Structure 1
Amino acid sequence: MPGSDLIARFAAVFDEVGAGAAERDRLRTLPYAEVERLREAGFTRVTLPVEHGGDGAGHAEFFDLLAELARRDPNLAQLFRSHFSFVDRTVLAPPSAQRDARLALVAEGRIIGNASHERSAAKVGAYSTALSRDAGGALVLNGTKFYSTGTLFADYTGVAATTEDGGLASVLVATDAPGVDRVDDWNGFGQRLTGSGTTVFDGVAVHDDDVAPFRRGERPSHAGAFVQLVLLAVVAGIGRAIVDDAVRFVRARTRTYSHGSGATAQQDPIVQETIGELEAARFAADAAVASVARGLDRSTAAIRNGEREDRIGDIVAGLDADAARAQLVVLPAVLDAATRLFEVGGASATDLSLGFDRHWRNARTVASHNPARYKARALGDLLLNDTPVAGWWSTGEA
C-alpha cells in the first residue's frame, strides 16, 4: 500500500483523534483539540517538500493517509481540504518570494482554511466580496463567505475576491485579523464538525504581498482534480469505517433470529455475504481514489520536469476525466454500503450510541458538494463529442 509507512507513523495519533467521533457527531462538539493534536504530530506538513521542512509525501501516499484519517473521523479529513490544496498549489507555483513565505507558514505549522464560495447575488464565476483601496491607498477586504470549510480551525484563510479593475484575486488573510468574524453556523445534517459556515470580512487590512491574482487557464493545473479527490478520499475513508463497524458489530452480537440462516450472526451466510459486499464496495472506492492519486503524481512530475504546456495540459485533461469517473464509482458504492450496513443486525444496529447513521449522512453531504449527475453528463459529452471535462467550476446566481 503506497502510504503504509505514513499510515504506520500516524496510526496511533489517528486512533487518538478518532476516539469519540460518534459522540462528537451526536453532540456536535467541534474538534479543536483534535486539530491541534494533528498539527503537533506534523500531519499538516506531510506533503510539504523535505527541503521546506515537511515529509515530501506524494499524492498516492497522501490520499491513502487522508482516507485513513477519514476512517476515524471524516470531519477531520475534510476540514483540511483547503490546507492541503494550498500546499499543493504553492509547491507547484513558480519560484518567488511570496511562494517561499507561504511555504514557510506551512513549515511553521500554520493551518490554511477556505473562504471562496458565497450565498450572495453574485453571478456564476463572480464574487460580491471585494478587494479595494481606501482613501489612503491601503488595500481593504469586505464581504461575506459561506462554506468556509476549515476556517474555524485555521490560522489563515484564502479568500476569493473581486478587484477594482474587475479581475479576481486570492487573498491570504489571518483569521485573527481585525475585521474577521468566523461564525459557527454550518447546519448540514452531515459533516457537522467541519466548520463550513460563514466568515465575514469587514474592512480587513490587506498587504500587497498577501494578494495573488487568479490566472485560470494561463497554466495547466490539476487543482480541480486535487480538491475533488480530497472529497473522494473522505468518502472512501467512510467506506473503510463501514466495514470496520459491520465486522465489529457482528463479532460482538449474541442474539439471532429463529428464521436466520446460521446458529450465530457470525456464522450466518446471509450476514457473511452482506459484509463481503461491503468489503467489495470499500475496495472499489479505494481503487478509484488510488488511480486518480497516481494521475496527480504524473501531472506533478510533468510540471516539475518542465515539460511542454501542451503535454501537461493533456495529462491534466485526462486527470479531470478520471476524477469524474472516480466520483461515479466512489459515491454510489459507499452510499449504498452505508445503507447495507444495517442489514448485518436488527434494531440494535440503530442505537444512537453506535452512530452508524452518521456514515450515510456524512457521505451524502460530501457527495452533494459537486453533484455527480453533472459529471456523468460531462463524461458522456466527452465520449460523444470530445468536449473536455471541466477541471474547475464555480457557483452563483444563474
Structure 2
Amino acid sequence: MSETATIDRDLVQRFASLFDELGRDTVERERERRLPYAEVEALREVGFTRVTLPRRYGGEEATHGELFELLAELARRDPNLAQLFRSHFSYIDRTLHAPASADREARLARLADGAIVGNASHERSTAKVGSLATRLTETPGGLRLNGTKFYSTGTLFADLVGVAAEQDGEFVSALVETDAAGVDRIDDWTGFGQRLTGSGTTVFTEVAVDASAVTRREPERLSHGGAFVQLVLLAAVTGIGRAIVDDAGAFVRTRTRTYSHGAASTAQADPIVQEVVGELSAKSFAADAALAAATTALERSSAAILGAGPDLVQERIAAVELATARAQLVILPAVLDAATALFDVGGASAVETHRALDRHWRNARTIASHNPSRFKARAIGDHVVNGTPIASWWSTGEA
C-alpha cells in the first residue's frame, strides 16, 4: 500500500466514528427539516473544518485526494453536510494557493481559529450571464455592499461569507461577517432534495466592508477553482452511491418476504436480487474511480500552481477541467440509475416512508442540477472535435 493510501485510510478512520454518529438520524433530520447546526459544530470541534490547513495552523495538511474521500464518506452518511462545506474548503484552497501576504496570513489564522466560510455568489436577478447585480460602492462612510444572493449554500452555518460583487465595473469578492449589520440570512430553500444545505437567500443591505476584506479578480492568475467546487458536488454524489449500496444490502439481509415467482426461497438467496445489488456496487465503483481520477488531476494542478511555470500550470488546469467534466458524465448517471434500481431489491415495503430510500434519488438529482451535465457533454465533444478549451468557470444569469 502506498504512503498516500495509508494516510487516506488513517484520516477517514479518524473521523469515521463521528461520521457514523452524525449519520444515525439523517432521515429524521430531513423528515423534521431540522437544520444541522449541531452537526456542523461537532465537525468544527473535532477539526474537520481545518483538515486541509497546514499543521502550523492546526490542520492535517490533507491532500485533495484525502479531502474528497472524506467528503464522499461524510456524504455516505449525510450528503447535506458534505455539500454545505463546499465554499468553505474552496476558500481554504484558494487561500493556500494565493501568493504570500499579510492578508493571506490573517485569513489562514482566522480559519485556524475554526471560522467557517459560506457562499454568496449566484443571483436570481435580471443580471445577464457574466454580470452581477450585487454592488460594492465607495461612500463617504466607506465601502458599502448591497445585493441579494440565492443558492447561498452553507451560509446559514458560517461565520464568514464570500460575496461576489461588481465594483466600478470590476468583479470582486468581499469577505463579510455573517452577523454583521445589514446581513440577513433567510432559510427559504425549497428544493425537493438536499433540503438542509442552507441554500437559500442572503440579503446585503448597506453592509460596511473593510478594504482589506476585498479581493479583486485577477484574470492572469490561473486557478483550478472551477474544478474544485464541482468536485465537491461529485464527491457528495459519490457518497450517495455508496449509501445506496449500504441500504440495498441492509434491506435484503433483513427481508423475510419473497414472491411465488421469485428465483429462491429468500431474498438473500435470490440470484436476481443478488444481481441487482452487484450492479449497484459496480455503479458505485465507477463513481469512485471517476472521482479518484479527477482528484488526481487536481493534485497535479495544485503542484504546478505552487511551483511550476505558467505553461505547465495552464496545461494542468486544462487537464483537471476536462477530467472533472468527464467525471460528471460518469458519476451522475451511475448514481442516479442506481438510486432507481435500488427499488428492484424489494417490493412495496421498500417505498415505505420511514425507510426514506427515495432520498438518494432526490438528493443526487438535486446536486446533478448544478451545471447540468448535458451542457458539459457538449463542451467535451467540442473539445474533442475542435480543440475548444473546457471553460474554467461556469456561471448563470439572464439570457
Question: Distance in 2 between the 1:122 and 1:96 partners?
Answer: 34
Shift of 1:223: 0.5
Q: Deviations over 1:311-369 (max 9, x none)?
A: 11001101101101000000000000000000001000001111100000000000001
* Contact 2:371 2:394 (C-alpha < 8 Å) held by counterparts: no
Equivalent position amino acid for 2:77 in 1: R
Equivalent position amino acid for 1:374 in 2: F
Gap runs ≥5 in structure 1: none
Pick the aligned partner of 1:43 from 34, 48, 53: 48
> Could you tell me which residue of structure 2 aligns to residue 119 of structure 1?
124
The 3-state SS of whatever aligns with 1:37 is helix
Shift of 1:53: 2.0
Equivalent position amino acid for 2:83 in 1: Q
Question: Distance in 2 between the 1:312 and 1:171 partners?
Answer: 26
Pick the aligned partner of 1:172 from 171, 175, 183: 175
The 3-state SS of whatever aligns with 2:235 is helix
Gap runs ≥5 in structure 2: none
* Contact 2:80 2:195 (C-alpha < 8 Å) held by counterparts: yes
> Could you tell me which residue of structure 1 aligns to residue 160 of structure 2?
156
* Contact 2:52 2:61 (C-alpha < 8 Å) held by counterparts: yes
Shift of 1:61: 0.8
Q: How do 1:224-239 residues align onto structure 2 when only pairs under 5 Å count?
A: 224-239=226-241
> Could you tell me which residue of structure 2 aligns to residue 381 of structure 1?
382
Q: TM-score, normalised by structure 2?
A: 0.98
Question: Distance in 2 between the 1:370 and 1:266 partners?
Answer: 39
> Could you tell me which residue of structure 2 aligns to residue 195 of structure 1?
198
Question: Distance in 2 between the 1:335 and 1:42 partners?
Answer: 32
Shift of 1:29: 1.1
Shift of 1:95: 0.5
Pick the aligned partner of 1:279 from 249, 257, 281: 281
- Compare 50-59 and 276-285 and name the one that shifted more: 50-59
> Could you tell me which residue of structure 2 aligns to residue 87 of structure 1?
92
Q: Deviations over 1:61-104 (max 9, x none)?
A: 11011100000000000000000000000000001111111111
Q: TM-score, normalised by structure 1?
A: 0.98
Question: Distance in 2 between the 1:393 and 1:349 partners?
Answer: 38
Question: Distance in 1 between the 2:222 and 2:145 partners?
Answer: 29
Question: Distance in 1 between the 2:264 and 2:70 partners?
Answer: 37
Shift of 1:387: 0.2
Shift of 1:56: 0.2
Q: How do 1:1-398 residues align onto structure 2 when only pairs under 5 Å count?
A: 1=5, 3-136=8-141, 138-163=142-167, 165-215=168-218, 217-305=219-307, 307-398=308-399
Question: Distance in 1 between the 2:117 and 2:233 partners?
Answer: 17
Question: Distance in 1 between the 2:396 and 2:251 partners?
Answer: 41
Percent identity, aligned pairs only, is 66
- Structure 1 vs Structure 2 CA RMSD: 0.8
Question: Distance in 2 between the 1:262 and 1:27 partners?
Answer: 39
Shift of 1:391: 1.3
* Contact 1:25 1:358 (C-alpha < 8 Å) held by counterparts: no
Question: Distance in 2 between the 1:105 and 1:252 partners?
Answer: 48
* Contact 1:219 1:309 (C-alpha < 8 Å) held by counterparts: no
Q: Deviations over 1:124-175 (max 9, x none)?
A: 1111110012233x00101100000000000000000110x21010000000
Question: Distance in 1 between the 2:263 and 2:32 partners?
Answer: 38
* Contact 1:320 1:391 (C-alpha < 8 Å) held by counterparts: yes
Q: Deviations over 1:1-37 (max 9, x none)?
A: 5621111000011011111101111221111110000
Shift of 1:393: 1.6
* Contact 2:91 2:117 (C-alpha < 8 Å) held by counterparts: yes
* Contact 2:65 2:296 (C-alpha < 8 Å) held by counterparts: yes
Question: Distance in 2 between the 1:198 and 1:143 partners?
Answer: 11
Question: Distance in 1 between the 2:105 and 2:74 partners?
Answer: 28
Equivalent position amino acid for 1:129 in 2: T
